[in-house]
Amino acid sequence: MKNRAAGLLMILCVLCTLNLFASNGQNFTKANILYSESKFEEALKLYLDLEISKLESSSLFYNIANTYFRLSKIGSAIQYYKKALRLNPLDGDIKSNLDFAREAIVDKIEISTGTKVKSILFFWYFLFNLKFLVALVVITSLVMWTVLIIRIFKKSEFLNWTFIIFFILFFLFSISAVIKYYEYNIDLEGVIISKEIQVRSSANETGVALFNLHEGTEVRIQDELNDYYRIELKDKKNGWVKKEFIGVI
């Protein structure tokens, strides 16, 4: 009896999940039609409802970004292009549209030389998303242990070098995955989504206004206190900004 009840419950869960996917698919198609008809506000509402329903895909975030861009909301557009790029870092259309949106940014902040060098030396970190890096960790680990087991029964120079190579790859991909997880979940990124804001020396209105930032400027979120985020720019300037002005990636 208990087994039958558990089976029925499982079937109900599957049916509900399938119904949710079907409903999301219909709403996504409807939003795309509204976008093609230049009804951007209506399309955006549907897209954001899909995001609220926990649908996470590069296509959804890309369409949200395009819609914000058509509504001249550059900050939010950049926020969602970057969210889409995290899920699909090899997509050329996302990269192109992100670069195009960045051209409208008022604050031109140069990336440090160190960051440019890292993007060349550790290209795989910037090329792959977190899920793909985890998959690489699993694959290299399996190959590494398989080779190690074979070496127990058969000594070979080739196997020795194969083990060393895959151990190095396993180590590099593991470190990259851990760092990317930290970046995605702890060391957060954000984008200014208000036309112009003041960055202050403390997390309140009485803090000294250090400098102004404009919509679309990309920042790293270092800390939070009450209604404020402590942000840092690529040139290492930092200060406190109200949370409502930041679109978290």
Domain 18-102 falls under CATH 2.170.16.10 = no
Give the residue extent of every domain in the chain: 18-102, 115-185, 189-248
Higher-pLDDT residue of 55 and 194 is 194
- Pick from 38, 88, 86, 84: nearest CA to 63: 84
Higher-pLDDT residue of 139 and 153 is 139
Residue 19 pLDDT more than 70?
no
Cβ neighbours of residue 218 closer than 8 Å, sequence gap 6 or more = 78, 82, 189, 190, 191, 234
A 10 A CB-CB count for 152 gives 7
Confidence of residue 117 (pLDDT cuts 50, 70, 90): low
Token pair for residue 181?
């997880």
Residue 13 pLDDT more than 90?
no
Residue 111 pLDDT more than 60?
no
User: Do 189-248 and 18-102 have the same topology in CATH?
Assistant: no
pTM over 0.75: no
Alpha-helical regions (H) of 53-185 = 58-70, 74-87, 92-102, 113-121, 123-127, 130-153, 157-185
**Beta-carbon-side half-sphere exposure of residue 89 (alpha carbons within 13 Å):** 13
- Sheet containing strand 196-200, strands side by side: 209-214, 196-200, 238-242, 228-232, 218-225, 189-192, 246-248
Distance, in Å, from the CA atom of 55 to the CA atom of 63, rounded to the nearest integer, reads 13
Mean predicted lDDT score pLDDT of the chain: 84
Domain 189-248 falls under CATH 1.20.59.10 = no
